Amino acid sequence: MDKLVLLPGPVMVHEDVLLRSAKQVMNHRSEEFEEILSECIELAKYLFQTDGNVAVITGSGTAGMEAAIYSLVEPDEPVVSVVNGKFGARFADIAERRGADVHRVEFEWGEAADPKAVDEALSETGASVVTVVQSETSTTVLNPVKEIADVCKDHDAYLVVDAVSSLGGVEFRMDEWGVDVCVTGSQKVLGCPPGLALVAVSDEALERMKEVEAGSYYLDLVKYFEYLEEDPMQTPYTPAVNAFYALHEALKKLKEEGLESRWERYKRLQEVVREGIRAMGLDLFVEDDSIASPTVTGVVYPEGVDDREFRGRILRDKYDVVVAGGQDHLAGKIFRIGHMGDVKLRDMITAVTCVGMGMLELGVDVDVGAAVERMAEVVAGS
- Asked whether position 241 contacts its own copies by CB under 8 A, the answer is yes
Among 35, 126, 153, 217, binds its own copies (CB under 8 A): 217
- The Cα 218–Cα 10 span in angstroms is 24
Q: Looking at beta carbons only, is 35 or 217 nearer to its own copies?
A: 217
Contact with its own copies (CB under 8 A): which of 68, 121, 163, 219? 219
Cα 87 to Cα 71, 135, 140, 264: the distances in Å are 19, 9, 11, 25
**Site map for its own copies, 306-325, x if CB under 8 A?**
----------------x---
Please report how many Cα atoms fall inside a 13 Å half-sphere around the Cα of residue 378, on the Cβ side: 24
Task: Give bridge partners of residue 53 from the DSSP assignment.
Answer: 201
Q: How far is the CB of 67 from its own copies (least distance, A)?
A: 9
The nearest distance, CB 112 to its own copies, in angstroms, is 24
Q: What is the closest distance, in whole angstroms, from the C-beta atom of residue 59 to its own copies in the complex?
A: 5
List the one residue from 216, 252, 267, 278 that touches its own copies (CB under 8 A).
216
Provide the minimum distance between the beta carbon of 140 and its own copies in the complex, in angstroms, as a whole number.
17
- Cα 333–Cα 134–Cα 204 angle in degrees, nearest 5: 155
Cα–Cα distance, 141 to 273 (Å, whole number)? 15
Site membership for its own copies, residue 78 (CB under 8 A): no
Binding to its own copies by CB under 8 A, coded x per residue (else -) over 26-55, reads xxx-x-------------------------
What phi and psi, each to the nearest 5 degrees, are found at residue 101? -95, 95
Report the nearest approach of its own copies to the CB of residue 38 (Å).
19
Query: In whole angstroms, how close is the CB of 41 to its own copies at the nearest point?
Result: 18
In this structure, how many other beta carbons lie within 10 angstroms of the beta carbon of residue 287? 12
Kindly give, in sequence order, each residue whose CB lies less than 8 Å from that of residue 187, ignoring residues fewer than 6 positions away.
9, 10, 11, 61, 193, 194, 195, 341
Closer to its own copies by CB, 52 or 358: give it: 358
Residue 11 contacts its own copies per CB under 8 A: yes
With a CB cutoff of 8 Å and minimum separation 6, the contacts of 77 are 100, 101, 127, 128, 129
What's the half-sphere exposure (Cβ side, CA atoms, 13 Å) at 53?
Answer: 21
User: What's CA 344's distance to the chain center, in Å?
Assistant: 18
H, E, C per residue of 132-150: EECEECCCCEECCHHHHHH
Q: Tell me if 123 contacts its own copies by CB under 8 A.
A: no
Total residues binding its own copies (CB under 8 A): 55
From 25, 210, 257, 361, residue interacting with its own copies (rule: CB under 8 A): 25
Q: Is residue 239 near its own copies by the rule CB under 8 A?
A: yes
Binding part of the chain for its own copies, among 65-73, 106-114, 247-255, 302-310 by CB under 8 A, reads 65-73
Does residue 113 bind its own copies (CB under 8 A)?
no
HEC sequence for 359-373: HHHCCCCCCHHHHHH
d(C-alpha 311, C-alpha 219), whole Å:
37
Q: CB nearer to its own copies: give 21 or 202.
A: 21
| Interface residue list for its own copies (CB under 8 A) | 1-3, 5, 7, 9-13, 18-19, 21-28, 30, 58-63, 65-66, 70, 90, 93-94, 97, 185, 187, 193-195, 213-219, 236-243, 322
